[in-house]
């Protein structure tokens, strides 16, 4: 339990601390800053070994403030923030930099810096997940369906580019803003997805990541100059998905699939908050993939049972989505819907076109969907064969148990 609390605090505080210290000392010192923040959490784990303080967030904030003084001695910089600290009372200036408005400003600057167009598009997503949400290399690899060595190289490249190109720690304006926002929303979406359906071995759902993604999304929507249809549509989608979190697992942590979820447990206040955000999104001219995904989510939320799902409407929406953002996972969803519609020939055609290795850590989803196809077409031996492939490639224990149960049910059929 204590480890979970520390893990939650790390997730919630890491990006905040890195952003504040970067605002003070500048991007050229990012690696030193990341090491300093990491050191704070290592000390916290040692200090809290026997007892966690009553207000752990306050303890971490105080530790970060003390670290500023340590870094001031270590870093000789011409950064304006450092000059400000040197010209005023140290303690007063540091307190000002840790005020809520300053913290939010620092975090927004970090988000937009991580999504700078000068960074390779692949590198910026990995860097953003690390610097904003405190993802480990393993978690980034899972979220992006890549190998850990690839992520290490991308992080190194991003830091090198930031330093060599002297990227400024600012929020863009004018025509540059929209393209940067697209990248920011992509990162928020990835953070949420890793929380909603994690590849972590022990936890299928990581509500802290879902909450962090929603918090970052809200932080952007609070600033009028950053609002657009995509931002509201993304927030709507996150609300819709979050409303189902409590119904995805039973008391023992076993997976409850969409077909068997208790829909009365879907959290209505979040659904209504999502509807309100979706309504606001329509007052803007931009229309994007988040609008389409939100519309698909609404179809499920407005249907009383799985059997009454309007699969034809969902299929039409998925075909719009695949044109906007081509993805093997969207193709898998299309195949799944075609199976529900008993259009097996088209479903098989799509499944045959997907290379499961492209999905990396999530290739078990391919084999799970293919097993669904064979089960529905009466080929139980091949369905079992696909489930065995899925079981061998899945990392999450709850997912593994779910797939093993499906396999056992077919064997006993």
Span 294-316, pLDDT tens digits: 999 999 999 999 999 999 999 99
- Alpha helices (runs of H) in 134-206, residue ranges in sequence order: 137-144, 148-164, 175-196
Task: Give the predicted TM-score (pTM) of the model.
Answer: 0.84
Please choose, from the candidates 261, 371, 254, the residue with its C-alpha nearest in 3D space to the C-alpha of residue 306. 261
**Model pLDDT, residue 240:** 98
Between the alpha carbon of residue 387 and those of residues 204, 263, 336, 359, 412, the distances in Å are: 19, 27, 15, 16, 14
The mean-pLDDT minimum among 94-98, 281-285, 389-393, 398-402 falls in: 94-98
Domain ranges, ordered by start, for the chain? 1-98, 111-166+173-224, 228-309, 331-413
Q: Buried b / exposed e across 1-30, counting CB within 10 Å, b at 16+?
A: eeeeebebbbbbbbbbbbbbbbbbbbbbbb
- Average pLDDT in the 196-202 region? 78
Which one of 1.10.10, 3.30.700, 1.20.5, 1.25.40 gives the CATH number of domain 331-413?
1.25.40
């Amino acid at each position: 339990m204590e480890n979970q609390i520390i893990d939650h605090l790390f997730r919630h505080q890491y990006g905040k601390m890195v952003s504040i210290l970067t605002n003070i000392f500048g991007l050229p010192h990012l690696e030193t800053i990341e090491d300093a923040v990491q050191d704070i959490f290592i000390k916290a784990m040692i200090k809290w070994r026997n007892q966690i303080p009553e207000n752990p967030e306050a303890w971490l904030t105080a530790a970060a403030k003390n670290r500023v003084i340590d870094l001031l001695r270590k870093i000789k910089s011409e950064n304006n923030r450092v000059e400000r600290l040197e010209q005023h009372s140290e303690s007063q200036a540091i307190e000002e930099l840790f005020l809520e408005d300053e913290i939010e400003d620092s975090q927004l600057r970090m988000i937009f810096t991580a999504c700078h167009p000068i960074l390779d598009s692949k590198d910026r997503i990995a860097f953003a997940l690390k610097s904003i949400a405190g993802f480990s290399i393993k978690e980034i690899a899972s979220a992006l369906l890549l190998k850990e060595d690839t992520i290490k190289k991308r992080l190194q490249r991003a830091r090198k580019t930031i330093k060599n190109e002297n990227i400024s720690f600012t929020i863009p304006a004018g025509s540059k803003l929209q393209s940067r926002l697209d990248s920011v929303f992509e990162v928020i979406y990835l953070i949420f997805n890793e929380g909603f359906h994690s590849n972590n071995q022990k936890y299928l759902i990581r509500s802290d990541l879902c909450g962090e993604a929603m918090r970052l999304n809200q932080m952007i929507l609070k600033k009028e100059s950053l609002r657009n249809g995509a931002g509201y549509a993304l927030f709507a989608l996150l609300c819709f998905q979050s409303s189902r979190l409590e119904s995805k697992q039973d008391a023992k942590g076993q997976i409850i699939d969409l077909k068997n979820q208790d829909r009365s447990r879907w959290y209505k206040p979040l659904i209504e908050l999502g509807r309100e955000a979706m309504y606001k999104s329509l007052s803007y001219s931009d229309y994007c993939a988040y609008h389409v995904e939100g519309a698909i989510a609404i179809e499920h939320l407005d249907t009383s049972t799985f059997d009454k799902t309007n699969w034809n409407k969902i299929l039409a929406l998925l075909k719009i989505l695949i044109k906007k953002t081509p993805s093997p996972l969207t193709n898998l969803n299309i195949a799944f819907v075609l199976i529900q519609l008993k259009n097996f020939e088209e479903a098989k055609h799509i499944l045959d076109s997907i290379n499961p290795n492209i999905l990396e850590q999530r290739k078990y989803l391919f084999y799970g969907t293919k097993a669904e196809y064979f089960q529905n077409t009466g080929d139980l031996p091949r369905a079992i064969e696909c489930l065995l492939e899925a079981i061998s490639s899945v990392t999450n224990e709850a997912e593994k148990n779910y797939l093993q149960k499906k396999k056992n049910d077919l064997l006993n059929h």
